[in-house]
Amino acid sequence: MITTRTARVARASLPLACLVAACLGLLSQTSAPLRAEGPSVGRGTASLLDLIPPDSGLVLTVDDLRGQYKELASSRIVDALSKTSLVRDWLNSDKYQEQQDSREQVERMLQITLEEFRDDILGDAAVLSLYLPPDVADPSRARGLLVVKPRTPAKLSRLIETINEAQRSNGEIDEVALREHAGIKFSVREFADGSGRPDEAYVSFADGVFALSNSEDLIRGVIDRKSGKSAGAKPASAGAKPALERFREVDGRLPTRALARLFIDPRMVERLLRNAPSPHSAGEAAIRGYIASHDAAGAAITAGDQRISLHTAETFDARKLEVLLGREAGGAQAATIDRIPDRTLAIAALQVDLAGAYELLRRSIPESELPKVANVEAIARGLLLGHDLRTDILPKVGPLATLVVRAPAAWVPGAEAGDASRGRLPLPASLAVELGAKEVAQAIDNAFQTGLAIISLEPKHGGGKSRLVTTRVAGGEVRSLAPPVPAAYGIDRDGRRVVLGTSVEAVGEALSAKSGGPGVDRFRRVLAAESPGAQSFMCVDIAAVHAMVAAHDDAIAGRLVNGGEPKDKVRKDLAHANEVLGLFDTASWGARFEKAPASLVQEISLVPRP
């Protein structure tokens, strides 16, 4: 049983655990998805941002931690999590009690509770920035700056004095020197010689604003900006916007109210990459080119009673992006969801530009390697019935691609794929891609048939004696090998879709799926609610996954047993996981690209059960 003390601690600790989970990926949203709401001048961090270097490479802001934490603590998500056996077992464990004992020791030593630190020091507004001087590529020379507006400045002063005294006593710091700049006194914590740590400086202003940095120059800059004597350093490049100005533009595409925001200056990332070896592959070169095309990038986390969310926004230099892609970016249509087979657990409706992606990859290949590429393209031309891969095929593949993962028709080992190997689940999957012309379908059909024929020669597939078989279904024909391999493909009757899948049954059901239906309606509702206007969209129906696990837990546990692990333990772990899954309805991701100005807006959402 849970003691009263344990229950009280659970209420206090679970919101923090949820926030950490949100940072790691259990993410959703509390405001209108994929809609720019604009920066709010009423935020506590608005004035604090004016105090950091305008060319900070990374900025983290936290607004109203006290109020938003309280909302999360009283939310139904936290209430439901606190009642799960997984959380109850953790709260009653020895490790948790050890953690609590360590926490209490730290609180006694610092003479402040973690709740007081959260609410009275960080609760109103906090800004953390990382600054790397212009033309410097050595990350060890980066310096941090923390600026906060505590609700109770006296508690922060007492905490600083407590830490100073403790470190003076154990010899970590030699002394705390009092200095002055522009008529404002500030302190410098001077570390012992040989410690390898830069001295730390801090300043408290009359209005309660406090700044701490491991660079005395940054604190002097804060004092100058606070007094209005300096606007900070100029941009490293003539005519370039300061990073802080670009951050504010990105902020306009993020929700107005967020627990935390993170902004990154790609220019700093570019400088840090100078220390890395030159790109050894086309992919590495493409990634560097993508980073260089950015103006700024930002993210925001929101957490509330309805959902937890992560929003990201990236702005680009349109000219650099056009050079990178070899064409003007944008023009994608809105995501559409249709013709989904029954028992679908997850779907991804993606906008794909295979021609553009191939050209980007090709331009990244060293010139000395291009003859090899030309040889591969010549082979592809033969497989594709004489059609050129770059000009005839790839431009007519897409733009819509739909990936579907379904529950199996039966949970009998080997019923789907004929392979009862442990450690994996027999979840049928299929990928359907639009085709722009019937001759493209014929060319792809020939290339895939040739690929299957080559696979059939391998000894591990039927002793090298597998044969190509064609199965007729309502929507077209499916080709695979017999004995079966976990791969099949099919072309629909009109030659407008190619479907690849993990089995004949997976491809057949995807080809035969009709327009509309309950599954289509379900995912369309999620798209409309969570990511309206998204050009690419992914969603996991957590409620359906939960129901599947609940109905077939024994068979699923049998599949997951691996390496001699007892089945009972696997079932117990599966039950704990499914109990948590039962709290949520959907998890989804949506993205859209805007042309004016060039920007990419994305969101990940986790929505609880109604």
- The residue type found at 554 is D
The pLDDT of residue 231 is: 53
Say how far apart CA 559 and CA 113 lie, in whole Å: 47
Domain count, the chain: 1
- Other C-beta atoms closer than 10 Å to the C-beta of 178 total 9
Q: pLDDT-based confidence at 278, cuts 50/70/90?
A: confident
Q: pLDDT-based confidence at 325, cuts 50/70/90?
A: confident
Tokens standing for 374? 């030309």
Span 559-566, mean pLDDT? 74
Please check whether residue 70 lies inside any domain of the structure. Answer: no
Please check whether residue 103 lies inside any domain of the structure. Answer: no
The pLDDT of residue 16 is: 32
- CB-side exposure of 461: number of CA atoms within 13 Å? 17
Please check whether residue 573 lies inside any domain of the structure. Answer: yes
The pLDDT of residue 25 is: 30
Residue 229 has pLDDT above 80, yes or no: no
Please check whether residue 72 lies inside any domain of the structure. Answer: no
Cα angle: 68, vertex 73, 78; to 5 degrees: 125
Question: By mean pLDDT, which of 203-212, 315-324, 498-507, 572-581 is the weakest?
Answer: 315-324
Q: pLDDT-based confidence at 318, cuts 50/70/90?
A: confident
The pLDDT of residue 125 is: 96
The pLDDT of residue 103 is: 95
Q: Report the candidate in 478, 484, 486, 482 with the shortest Cα–Cα distance to residue 507.
A: 478
Span 247-261, mean pLDDT? 92
Say how far apart CA 237 and CA 56 lie, in whole Å: 14
The pLDDT of residue 414 is: 37
**pTM (2 d.p.):** 0.84
Please check whether residue 402 lies inside any domain of the structure. Answer: yes
Residue 377 has pLDDT above 80, yes or no: yes
Residue 106 has pLDDT above 80, yes or no: yes
Question: By mean pLDDT, which of 227-241, 304-318, 397-411, 477-491 is the weakest?
Answer: 227-241
Span 496-521, mean pLDDT? 91
Residue 193 has pLDDT above 60, yes or no: yes
- Give me the domain span that covers residue 346: 330-594
Please check whether residue 464 lies inside any domain of the structure. Answer: yes
Please check whether residue 428 lies inside any domain of the structure. Answer: yes
* Percent of the chain topping pLDDT 70: 87
